[in-house]
Structures are given as C-alpha cells and as structure tokens.
Structure 1
Amino acid sequence: MSVSWVIADGASISYWFDSWTYLTKASQTTPDNTTRKYSLQMANHIGISQVILAGTVKWEFRFIWKLKIPPTVRVFGYLLLHGRLLTHDVMINRGLSCDTQCEVCHQCPLETAKHLFFQCGHARQVWRLLSSMLGFNLLQTGDTVQAIVSNSGRACQRRIPRSQWGTLFFAVCWFIWRNRNRKKFDGIESDPHWIAHQSIKESKLWRKFC
C-alpha cells in the first residue's frame, strides 16, 4: 500500500527536509554553492506554502498559456516574464560578448528587459500613444518586469477582460522586441505610432484566429 501526502496549504511540510516529490529531498539535490532563498538553519521551519507564496509572481503568470496569441509570442512572453529573454544583461550574465547599451535609444548603459520594454524613450512613447487611443492607462509601474505586468493587469481588469488585456499587452511587447531586433541587425527603426496601431490590429486578429 502506498502512502501519499495532501499538501493543502503546505504549512506542515518542510521544503528542504521532507521528501514531498518522487525524487528526493531538496536539501540533497541543491548544490552547496547555490544561493538559497532561505538558510539551512531556517529550513526546518519553512513550509511549502511559504515557498509557493515567495514565488507567487511566477505562479501568477500561468495565464499566458491560455491567451489567444501565436505560439512564438507565447514563448516570447514566457521568456520575458522569467528573465530569460536575450537582452544584453542576460547575455552578459551567460558569458556572451555583446554591447551593453540599449539598442534602441543608445542612452541606457545596460540594456535590460525592464528598460527596453517600459523605460526606453521609444517604448514609453508607444505606451503613451496606446493609452491615449484606448482612453485608459495600459501600463503601470513596478520594480521588476513581473511586477509591472501584474500591476498593469490588475489596473486594467475593470476596463477590459483580462484575456483581452493580456493579448494586447504581449502584442505591444512583441512589436517593441521586433523593433529592437530590426534596429540592431538591419538598422531600421519603426515609428512608435506604427507600433501602437499594429499592436491593436494584430491583437484583434490573434483573438479571432488563435
């Protein structure tokens, strides 16, 4: 007879020292030189619920797999939300040689996803145009990319359905990313007005056909 646990809220299950997966204990599989969110001295007192709550940002974004967007854009959104999109800071962290400054404005000394999509002058103009066209602010502030996306989604949910907001939001990010790459590799930059209008146009088509 096999015995299993029901985690429920996870308050009574230790993250590090209980074998709550079919593999082994986390304390045995995590390398000693890996930076851990919690020290081993605290490990006996840490439940699964605390670990899940600490990672709520990532759990919250599972909705991206349900959005009516093309598979390529879905993967792009996943990489963006998990800090794996190949902006210059990520490339440098992976030991790749590249320029550091923003490919679009050439003013920010280190291109990050937060800067490229939300702080760069070109991107900010796109968001302002969209907010003006829609009649409400599509973009909110936040300390991280994940926080910006989360705050923006909550702020817009009274205006449009979350699925519709998500499709439009990632359409905008997708065209900002494409513009960045076109400028980097082809020396061609798209006008912010074009990106704003194209984002709305494409998001409508995605919702209809994806």
Structure 2
Amino acid sequence: MTGGKEKWSFQEIWEVKAPQTVKIFGYLLLQNRILTRDVLRRRHISCPTECVLCSTGEQETAMHLFFQCEYARRVWLMAGGRFGYHLITIDQDVRTSWRRSWNRFKSRGLHVSKFISACFVSICWHIWLQRNNLIFRDNKIPPEIIAVRALDVGRMWAENC
C-alpha cells in the first residue's frame, strides 16, 4: 500500500489516550524498531534468539512477541473475552495486524474505539514489560494477570490522559 497506510500508522498512535512514553513505544513498534532479540542481533549484539515468554524455540520478533507467541495469545484472548470479541487480527506483519485490528475498533463507535485503542496499546505495553521482567528479573506473571492489569491501566488512561 502507498503512503496512506503509513500515514494511518503514525497518525493514529498519537491520538491514543496513553502516556507519551507508551505512544513512543507504539510508534517504535509500528516501525519494527522495538529492541526485540531479532533487532538486537541485526545490530550485532550477541543474545539468544528464542522468545522468553513462550519458550518454544521460536525466534523473538515483534510479530511473534506481541501477536503470535502463545503467552501473548493468551493475554489477548483473556482481554478480548472481557469485551466479548477478539481484539486482534493477525496478519503478515505488526503494522498490518495493528491497522486491521484498529479499523475494527473504529467500527464500534467513537467512545468505544478510544477506550479499546487505549487498552490495545496497554496490552502491547504490558506484554513488553512482562518480557523485560522475565529477562531481567526472572519473574513470570501468568498471562491472565497481565491481561487484567493491561485492561485496568488502559481504562485508567482512557479516562485520565
């Protein structure tokens, strides 16, 4: 797709009700610049390649970590269950998956879409925090707890940011 897709990707993230740090995180995620293990290795930084969240031996890419990883899928499933529908649409890459999911939010109406978009970004942010928590503190929190935390924080952002 042409510039329209990129205009969407980078314009919508700044309108999310979330702290600026999280918006920057979302922007970097959409640019595939989050420091996942595949990006670190491309930058010649020695590290394992496997995803720490699912321990299946799959390479940790942004697409895997946030959308395909079994741990992440359980977080999305739990969070979506609270809304009564799936929050994500998995596609070929992060940007397309994000865009297709985002467009489904918009079809739900303005109030709902602002709330869900804050929760969507919060879920990605909390998956990232959990990944780092596991790497740096060796502390794995069940995906069900991460889902509840992410939704609670997303709700708070939607109401207060």
Is this a same-fold pair by TM over 0.5? Answer: yes
Question: What secondary structure sits across from 1:190 in the alignment?
Answer: coil
Paired AA for residue 196 in structure 1 = A
Match of 1:57 in 2: 5
Q: Give the superposition deviation at 1:57.
A: 2.7
TM-score (normalised: structure 2) = 0.92
* Runs of 4+ residues deviating >4 angstroms: none
CA RMSD of aligned residues (A): 1.4
Report % sequence identity: 35
Task: Say whether the 8 Å CA contact 2:105–2:117 is kept in structure 1.
Answer: no
Q: Give the superposition deviation at 1:192.
A: 1.1
Match of 2:51 in 1: 102
- The structure with more helix, counted as a fraction of residues: 2
Task: Say whether the 8 Å CA contact 1:58–1:82 is kept in structure 2.
Answer: no
Match of 2:152 in 1: 201
1:192 aligns with 2:113: no
In the alignment, the residues of structure 2 paired with residue 55 and residue 101 of structure 1 have an alpha-carbon distance, to the nearest angstrom, of 33
Could you tell me which runs of 5 or more consecutive residues in structure 1 were left unpaired when the two chains were aligned: 1-52
Match of 1:82 in 2: 31
Find 2:119's aligned residue among 140, 147, 168: 168
Q: Give the superposition deviation at 1:193.
A: 1.2
Q: Give the superposition deviation at 1:109.
A: 3.4
User: RCO higher in 1 or 2 (8 Å CA, sep ≥ 6)?
Assistant: 2
In the alignment, the residues of structure 2 paired with residue 71 and residue 155 of structure 1 have an alpha-carbon distance, to the nearest angstrom, of 24
Match of 2:67 in 1: 118
Q: Which moved more, 1:102-111 or 1:83-92?
A: 102-111
TM-score (normalised: structure 1) = 0.71
